[in-house]
Amino acid sequence: MDRISIRGGHPLSGEIPIGGAKNATLPLMTAGMLTDERLTLSNVPRLADIDTMAALLSQHGIAVEPVDAEGRTLSIGGRITSTEAPYDIVRKMRASVLVLGPLLARTGEARVSLPGGCAIGTRPVDLHLKALEQMGAVIDLDGGYINARLAPGRTRLSGARIVFPFVSVGATENALMAASLAEGQTVLVNAAREPEIGDLAACLTAMGARISGIGTDKLEIAGVARLHAASHSVVPDRIETGTYACAAAITGGRVYLRGGRLEHLGAVVRILREAGVEITEDAHGLDVRRLNGLHGVDVMTEPYPGFPTDMQAQFMALMSVAEGAAMVTETIFENRFMHVPELARMGARVNVHGASAIVRGVPALSGAPVMATDLRASVSLVLAGLAARGETVINRVYHLDRGYEALERKLAACGARVERQAG
């Protein structure tokens, strides 16, 4: 099993290209199931999760074919030949549940395994199922599978007013795709506002969907009978942007993040600036550097535009070497402090109290062997290793490959002493 070795203490300096957003690409790929024609996606990141989704779509009869030599442009399309999403594929990635809405909308039935992914807590699909039930689906759970079909007498899903009791990105995406082909108007209230939702809505609009309220928490969709071919460029990855901004800050360096967009970072920009990080934007990206020392700042994870749960682990690593103390409160997932014991092995002072962690900054971290537990925890250990004295060896880095493309190469190009070692 591969591992990553880092010799810390070297400020980053240089340019890092920001790739397309994984969390936007995955639902966009499933949107290709909504039409018999071809959907062409560009600015696609080369990640393990993209390969997993391509394998799942292939299982349904949908071909995912690279258009360019690097595989950054994909052509997606074909006739749906199977409505079952099997456990062996779905268990690898939670986003697999996003085939449920498109399958129901196109074929009137679906059998989808309950999803897997990172072990960061229970992430129920209840809101997905309730939304589809309101649109006329009959759903039951049996043997670890979601069995869904149209109610008797129906030939299409029907528009509905769906009020989400709390914000769910995945449920918003599934309902949005299903509603695009439903009969009548659907209103999604308390919809997620993440940039990835807006990106999906923009792609669906290019395919012929009629959506209003994009970027707000109230989406209105007038269903159409069919969607058509379209081309769409995936939005830049805001989590990758935030992660490398933290990398520049934790090492006391300066990095230009080509392709990064300030408007997509939400509360991350404000929090980093309060911590002593300077972030400026030009037409092509973001310039990030640490001004002087880092200062402890309290943060609470919230739905967009609040501070994202996918940046919590990285920010905790940053706070571990800041002056003073910081309280980090996790409100999205109940089991997302698994990186804390590993950071403690490197000398971080973190005390967990329920959903909050108190981080008391130390002058320096020390390199140590550590183990990655999930995607964002993995990269938080990379950040800690960049700042630590001595060598840090991170084991189980396959998590990283799910969400960060060429991480070692991008960091090494900016002066980091980092290399991947085959296990």
- Residues making up the annotated binding site for UDP-N-acetyl-alpha-D-glucosamine are 94, 123-127, 310, 332
Which residues lie closer than 8 Å to 27 by C-beta, 6 or more apart? 95, 98, 173, 177, 196, 200
What's 215's DSSP letter?
T
- Partners of 279 in the β-ladder: 288
Summarize the annotated binding site for phosphoenolpyruvate as residue ranges. 22-23
Of 319, 318, 278, whose CA–CA distance to 296 is shortest? Answer: 319
Angle at 28 between CA 134 and CA 333, to 5 degrees: 65
Summarize the annotated binding site as residue ranges. 22-23, 94, 123-127, 310, 332
The reply to whether 414 belongs to the active site is: no
Which residues lie closer than 8 Å to 69 by C-beta, 6 or more apart? none
- The DSSP secondary structure of 109-133, one letter per residue, reads EEEEEPP----SS----HHHHHHHH
For tokens 């960060």, name the residue: 404
The count of residues in the chain is 423
Can you count the helices (H) and strands (E) in the chain? 14, 24
**Nearest-angstrom CA–CA distance, 114 and 97:** 7
Q: Which of 118, 203, 246, 414 is catalytic?
A: 118
- The DSSP secondary structure of 389-405, one letter per residue, reads BSEEEEE-THHHHTT-T
- Is there a cis peptide before residue 236, judged by omega within 30 degrees of 0? no
Secondary structure, 3-state, 291-358: CCCCECCCEEECCCCCECHHHHHHHHHHHCCCECEEEEECCCCCCCCCCHHHHHHCCCEEEEECCEEE
For tokens 């300030």, name the residue: 262
Could you list the active site residues?
A: 118
